[in-house]
Chains A and B, each alone.
Chain A
Amino acid sequence: MQILKYILKRIIQAIPLLIIVSFISFFIIRLSPVDPLAELRLNPSVSQETLQKETERLGLDKPIIVQYGKWAKSFLKGDLGITSNGEKVSTKLKERIPNTLLLTTIVIFLTWLVGIPLGIVAALNWKSPLDRILTVLTSIGMAIPSFFFAVLLLIFAVKTGWFPVGGLTSSDFLEKNIVGQILDVTHHLILPVTVLFTLSLAGLQRQMRANLLDVLDSDYVKFARAKGLSEFDVIYKHALRNAINPMITLLGFEFAGLLSGAALTEYVFQYPGLGRLILEAVMRSDINLVMASLMMGAIMLILGNLIADILLIITDPRIRRSNV
């Protein structure tokens, strides 16, 4: 019951935050000297009448505050409006969200599956050759800029012909059977996943290693060892449980990055995800689409933090007592 109350409190706190975020973003986008109709205007075959019609359709002839009011009203009703091309924003997002989720969940799953054990191994074998090798590897991983790595892999794909050059499916996707389709998607996913995996693995492994080292040095671990507990119990029952706390907070941020974290890599690999859509929308000031994505990002961040906090309450009795 108390936990429900806590969640409710957090949600109410989030409302003014969202209002401020939406207000600031809307005004910044609208005040920037970007003409959403630029492409139309520079097309000699488009007439003045058509331009006029478009201006009215997009509501560009009204003051910004009125435009914001109109947007906010329909947003509250759950209507995200239409893009500057007249398509529904919600359908546009629905086309892309599954693709991005597919990529990011695979990456998060893989990095946690590999990163956490590697961190533990490195911490337990502190200063051993294994730890040193892992340190070098992760340093390299952290140092490579993601777009550069992505471009390198793309060139690798072209030169060897082993991997498709970007995209998510081949052009004969529809004619394949289900197994062929899964293989096709996997084939396309390998390179972008490799890029994102390498980059986030490095950070996660370092974090886990540092946490565990911290804990291993603490008094209660020494006490547990002195008590004569087996090394297995000391590490997995006492040390690890405490070392994992900061990782849960990290997981909350990973959740926020589910929809927006891969934008750069998506762009280089021409991956049909949200990143490319939003970037193109920002370029031509497609207000409804940009606003929808910004709001989505803000909500995901708030939600991610909330989830992390709830998980913390569950795992850590200290927080449970003080917070709730």
Chain B
Amino acid sequence: MKKAGYVVLVIVLIALFLHSCVNIDTPEPQQPMNKQFQETEAINYPAPKNVTIDGIDYRQSQAPIGKFGGTLVASTIGEGPKTFNPFNSKDNISSLLSEIMYDGLLTTHPITGEPIPKLAESFNVNGREYLIKLRHGVKWSDGKPITADDVVFTWQNIIFDGYGNTSTRDSIIVDGKLPTVEKIDDYTVKFTTPEPFAPFIRMLSSPIAPKHIFMPAVKKGKAYFDTFLSTNTPPKDFVTSGAFRLKEYVPAQRVVYERNPNYYVINKEDKKLPYLDKLVYLIVGDINNEVLKFEGGELDVIGLQGANVARFKELEKHSNFKVYNLGPSTGTMFLSMNLNTRKNDKGKFNVDPKKQRWFLDKNFRQAVDYAIDRKNMVFNIANGLGAPLFTAESLNSIFLNKDLKSYDRNLEKANELLKKSGFYRNKKGKLFDKENNPVEFDLYTNAGNTEREAIGVMVKQDLEDLGMKVNFKPIEFNTLVNKLVNTYDWDMVIMGLTGSPLEPNGGKNVWMSDGTLHMFNQRPAGYNKDDRFDWEKRIDDIYVKGALATKFQDRKKFYDEYQAIAYEEKPFIYIYSPLIISAIRTRFQNLYPSMLGGLTHNIEEIYEEK
């Protein structure tokens, strides 16, 4: 009898313990971490100017004069580059590592976001016409001049003819027509778009290829081009226009670049940049290893997340690095419900019809939105280093609709909305719909992404306050994407997408109803029945018109409206934007960190203080 008493006591204690674990402990936000980072420091970047010396049009850096020599070691997470051909790259790492070597005609001003000339000396936009003047006397790394022929070849024979990754080409087709490119003289090129098409100007930052190197590859056909300048190509075969050229690639370890002696940027003493002799990217397997390598001194620059920021901020005081806040991230993180009402090829609904009724109900979606405690997530998951997000455009987008107000968690309002749609709670607090089905669904995210997993746990808790039963299932990334874009058998998901703060048209694959990433109501390729919601139709319309308008004010109106629709209809329930925090060793000078360009956008101007 006594024994039984002990057993009961132990069970009660365990139950109490577990109960207190399960309950959310919401600490009072005392001194939020982001107070320290409240404002990104206003940075005055002295933009480079054009100067002509002995008939050569240089780009002259206006930053303080530095010292030559030294090495900067950065890193990429994952398997490393898949190709060094910038026209073949389909993933961010390959693009980053190949575009270091090839400059584009234009680039983006790191502070204002305006397009400014880079490899081009100047440019002039006149409606549908883009007139580009090239620099005289500028050379490839092998000494051959960079001329209009290279530009025309790159655009006509590589991009327009559909070599490599055709995404650039596909994104500039207007009404089935491509822009045209023509050589006016050796140093002047004219592009003409079939209609006034505003996003085109951003495309002009695409890399330019050396004709004398790429021509033979193009002649051998598309299949050969796909393998051209792969990771197995000897480094000496690369002829580049960028600040650096490839020196060594060691699979799964690192990519090493050396300075391009023919680079066209000079400092104020007219000496050729870059200052650094070498630029190294270490290929590391995961974030933890990257942090260890930085702490071990093998890395010079690192991007930081969540808990590490607080630790590094503490370490900073007696270490040789400085932590920079680069502002909110350009990507978005969101919770989405599956609005799919179609059947799969076996004749079964992709989404259970009773769940369809919930998800298609705007009140239900808004109730979920009101139930989510974004501030709590920012505080607990991002360590206070983030801002709640309510809009489809990221917080640093120049197209952000500032009229869309943020709000706090509001359970009363959420319950009210649910009641309006006939949902009710039983005595135990469980939520039922008006046909007496208990509200229960699956919530997915990709396993291994600790941030999204943490958000999932908190979303589950928040929605349980409404009486919903949420089965949270983190699954392998590739499996999850398969569900989202191929089999459509999911209820709710937490996902993130990259975005551009400068050009909303990049989101057309997501927002247009026939897009490949129109996740919340994904239609199979070639689907031709028009079953769009009214607001989907309107967004389709806006995306077409927004790209064709040319004045910023006109475009802003269109994109403001699409954000307002997304804000009202909640196909995506945005969660928060983490701040981008980076750390770099203090011995590196000429740093002008910016939200748009990051820490090393002016890599040729950065030098190492010995």
Decide yes or no whether A203 CB sits under 8 A from chain B. no
Which residues of chain A (140-167) have a CB below 8 Å from chain B? 154-155, 157-158, 161, 164-167
Decide yes or no whether A119 CB sits under 8 A from chain B. no
Decide yes or no whether A63 CB sits under 8 A from chain B. no
Residue of B nearest to A284 (CB): B478
Q: Report the separation of the CA atoms of residues A38 and B475 in the bound assembly, to the nearest whole angstrom.
A: 13
A283 touches B170 (CB 8 A): no
Q: Closest CB of chain B to A73's CB: distance in Å?
A: 20
Decide yes or no whether A168 CB sits under 8 A from chain B. yes
Tell whether A33 pairs with B483 under 8 Å between CB atoms, given A38-B478, A42-B497, A87-B232: yes
A50 touches B289 (CB 8 A): no
Which residues of chain A (34-67) have a CB below 8 Å from chain B? 34-36, 38-53
Task: Mark the stretch among A236-244, A246-254, A272-280 that contacts chain B.
Answer: A272-280
Tell whether A45 pairs with B479 under 8 Å between CB atoms, given A86-B82, A87-B230: no
Which residues of chain B (78-114) have a CB below 8 Å from chain A? 79, 82-83, 90-92
B248 touches A44 (CB 8 A): no
B83 touches A50 (CB 8 A): no
Q: Closest CB of chain B to A176's CB: distance in Å?
A: 13
Q: Closest CB of chain B to A169's CB: distance in Å?
A: 6
| Chain A 19-37: CB-based contact to B (< 8 A → 1; otherwise 0) | 0000000000000111110
Q: Report the separation of the CA atoms of residues A49 and B482 in the bound assembly, to the nearest whole angstrom.
A: 18
B79 touches A171 (CB 8 A): no
B293 touches A50 (CB 8 A): no
B296 touches A161 (CB 8 A): yes
Q: Which residues of B contact A35 (CB under 8 A)?
A: 478-479, 481-482, 485-486
Decide yes or no whether B231 CB sits under 8 A from chain A. yes
B292 touches A267 (CB 8 A): no
Q: Closest CB of chain B to A193's CB: distance in Å?
A: 18
Q: Which residues of B contact A283 (CB under 8 A)?
A: 476-478
A171 touches B167 (CB 8 A): no
Decide yes or no whether A187 CB sits under 8 A from chain B. no
A43 touches B525 (CB 8 A): no
B253 touches A52 (CB 8 A): no
Q: Determine which of A43, A165, A267 lies in contact with B91 in the assembled complex, contact meaning CB atoms within 8 Å.
A: A43
Which residues of chain B (286-303) have a CB below 8 Å from chain A? 289, 292-293, 295-298
A43 touches B293 (CB 8 A): no
B253 touches A168 (CB 8 A): yes
B478 touches A276 (CB 8 A): no
Q: Closest CB of chain B to A213's CB: distance in Å?
A: 43
Q: Determine which of A44, A87, A165 lies in contact with B499 in the assembled complex, contact meaning CB atoms within 8 Å.
A: A44
Decide yes or no whether A91 CB sits under 8 A from chain B. yes
Q: Closest CB of chain A to B203's CB: distance in Å?
A: 11
Q: Closest CB of chain A to B393's CB: distance in Å?
A: 13
Q: Closest CB of chain B to A281's CB: distance in Å?
A: 9
Task: Mark the stretch among B41-49, B320-328, B506-514 that contacts chain A.
Answer: B506-514
Q: Report the separation of the CA atoms of residues A172 and B280 in the bound assembly, to the nearest whole angstrom.
A: 10
Q: Tell me the number of A-to-B contacts counted with CB atoms below 8 Å.
A: 150
Which residues of chain A (6-26) have a CB below 8 Å from chain B? none
Which residues of chain B (43-63) have a CB below 8 Å from chain A? none
Decide yes or no whether A95 CB sits under 8 A from chain B. yes
B497 touches A33 (CB 8 A): no
Q: Which residues of A contact B289 (CB under 8 A)?
A: 165-166, 270
Decide yes or no whether B284 CB sits under 8 A from chain A. yes
B296 touches A158 (CB 8 A): yes
B506 touches A164 (CB 8 A): no
Q: Report the separation of the CA atoms of residues A169 and B254 in the bound assembly, to the nearest whole angstrom.
A: 9
Which of A45, A167, A168 has the most chain B CB within a 10 Å cutoff?
A45
Q: Report the separation of the CA atoms of residues A166 and B295 in the bound assembly, to the nearest whole angstrom.
A: 13
B167 touches A46 (CB 8 A): yes
Q: Report the separation of the CA atoms of residues A35 and B516 in the bound assembly, to the nearest whole angstrom.
A: 15
| Chain B 476-520: CB-based contact to A (< 8 A → 1; otherwise 0) | 111111111111000000010111000000110110000011000
Decide yes or no whether B356 CB sits under 8 A from chain A. no
Q: Determine which of A50, A169, A284 lies in contact with B250 in the assembled complex, contact meaning CB atoms within 8 Å.
A: A169
Which of A42, A52, A166 has the most chain B CB within a 10 Å cutoff?
A42
Q: Which residues of A contact B516 (CB under 8 A)?
A: 41, 46-48, 51
B293 touches A165 (CB 8 A): yes
Q: Closest CB of chain A to B485's CB: distance in Å?
A: 5
Tell whether A43 pairs with B90 under 8 Å between CB atoms, given A36-B478, A51-B516: yes
Q: Which residues of A contact B252 (CB under 8 A)?
A: 95-96, 270, 272, 276-277
Residue of A nearest to B73 (CB): A171
Q: Which residues of B contact A48 (CB under 8 A)?
A: 170, 516, 525
Q: Which residues of B contact A87 (CB under 8 A)?
A: 82, 230-232
Q: Which residues of B contact A4 (CB under 8 A)?
A: none
Decide yes or no whether A285 CB sits under 8 A from chain B. yes
Q: Which residues of B contact A280 (CB under 8 A)?
A: 79
Tell whether A276 pairs with B251 under 8 Å between CB atoms, given A44-B497, A47-B167, A171-B73: no
Residue of B nearest to A174 (CB): B248
Decide yes or no whether B165 CB sits under 8 A from chain A. yes
B507 touches A44 (CB 8 A): yes
Q: Which residues of B contact A42 (CB under 8 A)?
A: 481, 484-485, 495, 497, 517
Q: Report the separation of the CA atoms of residues A163 and B494 in the bound assembly, to the nearest whole angstrom.
A: 40
Q: Closest CB of chain A to B457's CB: distance in Å?
A: 22
Tell whether A285 pairs with B256 under 8 Å between CB atoms, given A47-B171, A87-B231, A272-B250: no
Q: Which residues of A contact B227 (CB under 8 A)?
A: 86
Q: Which residues of A contact B170 (CB under 8 A)?
A: 47-50
Decide yes or no whether B122 CB sits under 8 A from chain A. no
Q: Determine which of B231, B482, B498 lies in contact with A34 in the assembled complex, contact meaning CB atoms within 8 Å.
A: B482
Q: Report the separation of the CA atoms of residues A271 and B481 in the bound assembly, to the nearest whole angstrom.
A: 29
| Chain B 270-282: CB-based contact to A (< 8 A → 1; otherwise 0) | 0000000000101
Tell whether A154 pairs with B292 under 8 Å between CB atoms, given A95-B251, A96-B252, A171-B254: yes
Q: Determine which of B226, B296, B495 lies in contact with A164 in the assembled complex, contact meaning CB atoms within 8 Å.
A: B296
Q: Report the separation of the CA atoms of residues A167 and B75 in the bound assembly, to the nearest whole angstrom.
A: 13
Q: Closest CB of chain A to B169's CB: distance in Å?
A: 8
Residue of B nearest to A53 (CB): B166
Decide yes or no whether B590 CB sits under 8 A from chain A. no
Q: Closest CB of chain B to A268's CB: distance in Å?
A: 8
Q: Report the separation of the CA atoms of residues A190 and B528 in the bound assembly, to the nearest whole angstrom.
A: 62
Residue of A nearest to B485 (CB): A41
A166 touches B293 (CB 8 A): yes
Q: Report the separation of the CA atoms of residues A40 and B251 in the bound assembly, to the nearest whole angstrom.
A: 22
A165 touches B82 (CB 8 A): no
Q: Closest CB of chain B to A43's CB: distance in Å?
A: 7
Q: Determine which of A34, A53, A92 lies in contact with B476 in the assembled complex, contact meaning CB atoms within 8 Å.
A: A34
Decide yes or no whether B396 CB sits under 8 A from chain A. no
A-B contact pairs, 21 of them (CB 8 A): A34-B476, A35-B486, A41-B484, A42-B495, A43-B498, A44-B498, A44-B510, A46-B516, A47-B166, A47-B170, A47-B516, A50-B90, A50-B165, A50-B170, A52-B525, A96-B252, A161-B297, A166-B293, A167-B254, A171-B71, A283-B476
Q: 14 more A-B contacts (CB under 8 A) besides A34-B478, A86-B226?
A: A32-B479, A33-B487, A34-B479, A35-B479, A40-B91, A44-B507, A48-B525, A53-B166, A157-B296, A166-B293, A270-B285, A283-B476, A283-B478, A284-B478
Q: Closest 6 CB pairs between A and B?
A: A38-B481, A272-B252, A47-B170, A35-B482, A85-B82, A38-B478
Chain B residues proximal to chain A, CB less than 8 Å:
71, 73, 79, 82-83, 90-92, 165-167, 170-171, 226-227, 230-232, 247-248, 250-254, 256, 280, 282, 284-285, 289, 292-293, 295-298, 476-487, 495, 497-499, 506-507, 509-510, 516-517, 525
Chain A residues proximal to chain B, CB less than 8 Å:
32-36, 38-53, 85-87, 91-92, 95-96, 154-155, 157-158, 161, 164-169, 171-174, 267, 270, 272, 276-277, 280, 283-285
